[in-house]
């Protein structure tokens, strides 16, 4: 079997930073995370073994410190935590923070904000909080087509959004706005991984996307992969699909931004244990 790896898979900068931040806080005293730190069961379970649990709202915080995860939080959340007197340990990814600061500045200047993203995603919940009540959320072509006319507006959005879908939505949004500013919002990590999966799917019979279904950026990689070849989203090396692959095929491996590097290594080891493998890393 020929196994193709990509250069960028597994924990991104923001996720690594969030994990290191929570571990440092834990060494100083009791800590919880506001929402699960990342969308990965294995990592969340490992943190729980160290006594680090997540809570769903500021009112549930019972530790001395609380970590804001890489997705950031809305201003009301910071205010609620401050009122409780708990120490806020902020692990918001710098790329997300940049968007939240832009949202705050636009809202302050009274400029119409259009937000491309998924309504339920915690990053977008936070972004909408910074953008204020006048912001309009867009996640479908129907919503873009239904926009009214604006003389001036700025588009911001979700760091992990599909670039393909973003471009389609932007083309429609541009038809509704005279003076449109588009703030670059898909993070470099996301764009690199999406480009890499396109390269993988054109060279492979099968692509294994490592991560959890709960991770939006991982699901997007899987969607992109399966448009070009057979694809599977798997969490670990125990997945039965590893034993069902064609030994004479080419298998690509990538992983979402919240996939632990150990999971990727174990999957490669699992393939090597089952098949005679030639491993290559592709550069894009």
Token pair, residue 34, equals 């506001």
Residue 277: which residues within 8 A CB-CB, separation 6 or more?
A: 1, 2, 3, 271
Q: How far is the CB of 211 from ligand F3S (least distance, A)?
A: 12
Check residue 118 and report its DSSP letter: -
Q: Which stretch binds ligand F3S (CB under 6 A): 44-52, 143-151, 172-180, 182-190?
A: 182-190
Contact status, residue 24 vs residue 18, Cβ threshold 8 Å: no
Q: With CA atoms as reference, report the closest residue to 183 among 72, 103, 120.
A: 103
Nearer Cβ to ligand F3S, position 58 or 157?
157
Phi, psi (rounded to 5 degrees) for 236: -160, 180
From residue 100 to residue 139, the character string flagging contacts with ligand F3S as x (rule: CB under 6 A) and all else as - is ----------------------------------------
Active site residue 223: no
Check residue 89 and report its DSSP letter: E
Tell me the C-alpha distance between 28 and 66, whole Å: 12
- Of the candidates 40, 43, 112, 190, which one interacts with ligand F3S according to CB under 6 A? 190
Between 122-131 and 75-84, two packed helices, what is the crossing angle to 10 degrees?
Answer: 90
According to the binding rule CB under 6 A, does residue 1 interact with ligand F3S? Answer: no
- Of the candidates 112, 160, 250, 254, which one interacts with ligand F3S according to CB under 6 A? 160
- Of the candidates 1, 3, 15, 267, which one interacts with ligand F3S according to CB under 6 A? 15
Q: Which stretch binds ligand F3S (CB under 6 A): 12-20, 55-63, 110-118, 177-185?
A: 12-20
Is beta strand 206-210 parallel, antiparallel or unpaired with respect to 177-182?
Answer: unpaired
Nearer Cβ to ligand F3S, position 1 or 257?
257
Task: Tell me the C-alpha to C-alpha distance, in Å, between residue 155 and each of 7, 135, 163, 169.
Answer: 30, 10, 14, 10
Q: How far is the CB of 25 from ligand F3S (least distance, A)?
A: 18
- Of the candidates 66, 86, 113, 187, which one interacts with ligand F3S according to CB under 6 A? 187
Please give the residue ranges that form the binding site for ligand F3S (CB under 6 A).
12-15, 70, 93, 95-96, 159-160, 187, 189-190, 217, 257
The residues annotated as belonging to the active site are 123
């Amino acid at each position: 079997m020929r196994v193709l790896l990509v250069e960028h898979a597994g924990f991104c900068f923001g996720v690594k930073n969030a994990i290191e931040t929570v571990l440092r806080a834990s060494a100083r005293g009791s800590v919880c995370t506001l929402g699960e730190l990342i969308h990965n069961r294995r990592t969340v379970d490992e943190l729980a073994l160290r006594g680090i649990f997540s809570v769903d709202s500021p009112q549930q915080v019972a530790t001395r410190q609380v970590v804001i995860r890489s997705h950031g939080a809305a201003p009301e959340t910071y205010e609620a935590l401050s009122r409780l007197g708990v120490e806020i340990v902020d692990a918001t990814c710098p790329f997300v923070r940049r968007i939240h600061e832009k949202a705050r500045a636009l809202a302050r200047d009274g400029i119409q904000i259009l937000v491309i993203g998924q309504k339920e995603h915690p990053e977008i919940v936070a972004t909408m909080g910074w953008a204020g009540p006048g912001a309009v959320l867009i996640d479908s072509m129907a919503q873009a087509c239904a926009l009214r006319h604006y003389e001036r507006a700025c588009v911001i959005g979700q760091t992990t959004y599909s670039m393909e879908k973003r471009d389609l939505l932007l083309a429609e949004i541009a038809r509704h706005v005279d003076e449109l500013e588009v703030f670059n919002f898909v993070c470099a990590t996301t764009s690199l991984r999406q480009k890499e999966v396109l390269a993988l799917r054109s060279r492979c019979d099968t692509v294994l996307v490592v991560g959890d279904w709960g991770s939006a950026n991982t699901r997007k990689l899987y969607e992109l992969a399966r448009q070009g070849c057979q694809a599977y989203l798997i969490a670990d090396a125990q997945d039965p699909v590893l034993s069902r692959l064609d030994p004479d095929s080419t298998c690509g491996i990538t992983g979402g931004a919240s996939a632990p590097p150990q999971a990727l290594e174990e999957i490669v080891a699992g393939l090597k244990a089952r098949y005679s493998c030639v491993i290559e890393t592709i550069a894009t």
